[in-house]
């Protein structure tokens, strides 16, 4: 996995410890990128993390499950790129 910007790496480490993310570092990194407005779609996140798009899509699906940490906006049917934004629940992670 590629090296994240320092702020994203710190936030991902904090999110990694959260009970909801079950120690899933990829989901933590995807959420951190979304919260810091560094990636708001699955392809951009996959590229920033140097990982397979399919793995990021799986993390995005988990983050969009109830109660959602990501709000899934739309999906490009040709590329499967999923666009998303942090849900209200996720914003509490950066409110502190």
Within 10 A of 17 (CB to CB), how many other CB atoms are there?
9
Q: What residues have CB less than 8 Å from 12, skipping those under 6 apart?
A: 4, 25, 28, 29, 31, 32
Q: Which of 32, 31, 13 is nearest to 23 (CA)?
A: 13
Q: What is the pTM of this model?
A: 0.91
pLDDT tens for 48-82 read 999 999 999 999 999 999 999 999 999 999 999 99
Q: For the chain, which residues make up each domain, given as ranges?
A: 6-95
Phi then psi for 12, rounded to 5 degrees? Answer: -60, -40
pLDDT level of residue 96 (50, 70, 90 thresholds)? low
CATH number for domain 6-95, candidates 1.10.10, 1.20.120, 1.25.40, 1.10.3470: 1.10.10
pLDDT at site 4 = 82
Place of tokens 């490009």: 76
């Amino acid at each position: 996995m590629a090296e994240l910007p320092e702020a994203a790496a710190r936030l991902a480490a904090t999110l990694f410890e959260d009970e909801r993310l079950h120690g899933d570092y990829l989901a933590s990194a995807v959420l951190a990128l979304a919260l810091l407005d560094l990636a708001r779609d699955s392809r951009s996140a996959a590229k920033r993390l140097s990982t397979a798009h399919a793995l990021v899509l799986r993390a995005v699906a988990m983050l969009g499950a109830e109660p959602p940490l990501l709000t899934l906006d739309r999906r490009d049917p040709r590329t499967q790129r999923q666009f998303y934004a942090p849900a209200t629940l996720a914003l509490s992670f950066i409110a502190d």
